[in-house]
């Protein structure tokens, strides 16, 4: 967990686009409790700022609608309220409550089709959901333990989010479709504590990495680090124009930074306040809608083409005899069963849906060869396919008929334990 302290200077400048930021006396850069001393959204136009929702006890997490006219935010009308999701016109007017929970709901973003995505507090950490703009038909997208916080909605229609990752020494960036299917880490090089990702107009994703920024580009399987500066950045970046960004620094200031032109320029700083989470108030492209292909089936099917394909370790050829599947049940791992792995490394299983699961590869005597460190899930009716075990998104599949499908078209079923009973392979 990292927190930043107050600075004692006051500078005012302007950028050509109105913007909103979250002003706070203290910002904790970890999980859901980010503003322990309160926060308020401020909108800046022509160098003048005003509170976006002056009647609120707390407000944060601004997200501007695709047409640039309204703002989603998380807010507390009264100080004792939980954080909830609201919408307010940029031009002013009464905020409209979208989500009414007894738990906190934060980090909202607009989705195409008049829906929103946000993170909701649960006993297992913040989990991501979508709902309509009236709060109806909520749909949970994430099912692994830990805080899952929405970072951005990518133009390809996927939700970019941050969540814990055991190989990342903290958080990593993941993507998931808006029906909760297809969850995966965006890249598999797993750097240290990646979070606060935002997509740029180029399609690159820029994110915070410790106290500096890095980016993912389409062409590379690993992150590209940005020039190291004396300034430490924190939180998400707002893109003013290609290669010109509005960024928050750990000093509390809001900076305009053009990486090609050296050091950042302070555009806003206020004594005793921190300006974080900048967003520009302007229309922007509507992401593509994801046409859900979930079928009407029990559980989810998972086909792995070749367990021996892995970017992280060498798995001796012919060593894998079976895959063992565990699920997280009542916060404890439970072995659901195991399925044979074919000579070509393929296996085909049915796993329980909406449940955190993970795999181990085992040899002929049941000894673990390698095991998954984190958890993932699949949705009901999802048909998941993967190249190998931690093959990485850069690895396209080899075009070969999986041996398991030549033997059978029926997956080995793994079911959750019946209450009080033991569970095995069906």
Partner 1 sequence: MRWAALWLAFCAVSRATVPVAAVRYPSPIELAITPDGLRLYVLCEGTDEVVAYDLPSGAVCRRIAVGRVPKGMMLTPDAKRLYVANSWSDNVSEIDTASLEVVRTLPAGFEPNAVVTDRAQRFLYVANRISNDVSVVDLATGLESKRLLAGRGASYLALSPDGSRVYCTHIYPKITTFRATPESEITVIDAARQMVADRYGLRNAAGVFHIAVSADGRLGMAAEMRPKNLIPLAHVEHGWVIGNSISLFGDDVGGVVQIPIDELDRYYTPPFDIVLTPDKSTAYVSTTGSDSVTVIDVRRLLAFVKTLSPAERSGVANDLSASANYVAARIPVGQGPKGMALAPDGKRLYVANRTGDTISIVETASRRVTGELSLGAPAANEQRRGERLFYKAAFAFHGHFGCANCHIEGTFDGLSWDLEPDGFGKDYVDNRLLEDIADTAPFKWNGSNPNLETECGPRTEKYFYRSESYDGWQLEDLVSFIKSMPLRPNRYRSAELTPAQERGKAIFERTRRKDGKPIPALNQCAVCHSGAHYTDQKLHDVGTGKPTDRSPLIDVPQLTNIALTAPYLHDGSARTLEEIWTVFNPNDTHGVTNDLQKDELNDLIEYLKTL
Could you list the residues that contact partner 1 (CB under 8 A)?
A: 112, 156-157, 182, 203, 218-222, 288-293, 295, 301, 303, 305, 348, 383-385, 387, 393-402, 405-406, 408-409
CB 34 within 8 A of CB 58: no
CB closer to partner 1, 154 vs 276? 154
Query: Which residues on neighbouring strands pair with residue 40, listed in sequence order?
Result: 23
Residue 99 burial (C-beta neighbours within 10 Å; 0-12, 13-18, 19+): buried
Q: Smallest distance from the beta carbon of 346 to partner 1, in angstroms?
A: 10
Residues 116/110, Cβ–Cβ less than 8 Å: yes
Minimum CB distance to partner 1, residue 296 (Å):
11
For partner 1, the closer of residues 82 and 112 by Cβ is 112
Residue 225, phi then psi, degrees to nearest 5:
-85, 145
CB of 66 to partner 1, least distance (A): 14
Name which of 169 and 224 has its Cβ closer to partner 1.
224
Indicate the residue among 220 and 271 with the shorter CB distance to partner 1: 220
Cβ closest to partner 1, residue 136 vs residue 317 = 317
Nearer to partner 1, 75 or 381 (CB): 381
Q: Which residues contact 104 (CB under 8 A, 6 or more apart)?
A: 32, 74, 82, 83, 84, 120, 121, 126
Burial-class residue 66 by CB neighbours within 10 Å (0-12, 13-18, 19+): middle
* Min separation Cβ 131 and partner 1, Å: 20
Question: Residue 232 or 394: which CB sits closer to partner 1?
Answer: 394
Instruction: Please check whether residue 404 is in contact with residue 348, taking contact to mean a CB–CB distance below 8 angstroms.
Output: yes
Tell me the closest approach of the beta carbon of residue 132 to partner 1, in angstroms.
18
Dihedrals φ, ψ of 274, to 5°?
Answer: -120, 135
Q: Which of 323, 290, 328 is CA-nearest to residue 181?
A: 290
User: CA-CA distances (angstroms) from residue 177 to 161, 181, 218, 335?
Assistant: 11, 5, 18, 27
Torsion of CA 335, 336, 337, 339, to 10 degrees: -120
| Residue linked to tokens 């302290």 | 5
């Amino acid at each position: 967990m990292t927190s930043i302290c107050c600075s004692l200077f006051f500078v005012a400048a302007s950028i050509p686009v109105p913007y909103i930021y979250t002003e706070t006396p203290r910002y904790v850069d970890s999980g859901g409790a980010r503003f322990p001393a309160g926060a308020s959204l401020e909108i800046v136009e022509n160098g003048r700022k005003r509170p976006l929702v002056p009647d609120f006890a707390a407000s944060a997490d601004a997200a501007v609608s695709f047409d640039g006219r309204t703002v989603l935010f998380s807010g507390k009308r009264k100080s004792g309220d939980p954080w909830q999701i609201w919408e307010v016109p940029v031009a002013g007017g009464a905020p409209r409550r979208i989500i009414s929970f007894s738990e906190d709901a934060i980090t909202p973003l607009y989705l195409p089709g008049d829906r929103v995505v946000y993170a909701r507090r649960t006993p297992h950490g913040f989990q991501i959901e979508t709902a309509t703009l009236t709060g109806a038909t909520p749909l949970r997208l994430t099912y692994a333990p830990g805080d899952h916080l929405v970072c951005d909605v990518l133009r390809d229609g996927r939700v970019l989010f941050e969540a814990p990752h055991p190989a990342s020494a903290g958080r990593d960036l993941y993507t998931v479709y808006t029906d909760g299917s297809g969850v995966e880490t965006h890249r598999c090089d797993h750097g240290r504590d990646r979070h606060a990702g935002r997509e740029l107009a180029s399609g690159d994703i820029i994110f915070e990495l410790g106290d500096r920024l890095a980016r993912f580009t389409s062409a590379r399987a690993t992150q590209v680090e940005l020039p190291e500066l004396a300034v430490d950045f924190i939180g998400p970046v707002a893109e003013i124009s290609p290669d010109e960004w509005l960024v928050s620094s750990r000093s509390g200031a809001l900076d305009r930074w053009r990486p090609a032109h050296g050091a950042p320029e302070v555009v806003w700083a206020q004594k005793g306040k921190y300006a974080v989470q900048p967003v520009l108030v302007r229309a922007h492209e509507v992401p593509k809608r994801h046409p859900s292909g979930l079928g009407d089936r029990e559980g989810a099917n998972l086909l792995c083409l070749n367990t021996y394909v892995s970017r992280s370790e060498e798995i001796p050829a012919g060593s894998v005899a079976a895959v063992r599947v565990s699920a997280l049940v009542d916060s404890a791992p439970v072995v659901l069963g195991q399925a044979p792995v074919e000579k070509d490394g393929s296996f085909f299983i049915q796993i329980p849906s909406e449940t955190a699961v993970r795999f181990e590869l085992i040899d002929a005597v049941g000894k673990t060869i390698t095991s998954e460190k984190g958890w993932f899930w699949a949705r009901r009716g999802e048909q998941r396919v993967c190249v190998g075990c931690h093959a990485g998104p850069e690895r396209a599949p080899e075009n070969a008929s999986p041996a398991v499908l030549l033997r059978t078209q029926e997956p080995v079923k793994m079911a959750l334990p019946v209450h009080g009973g033991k569970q095995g392979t069906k």
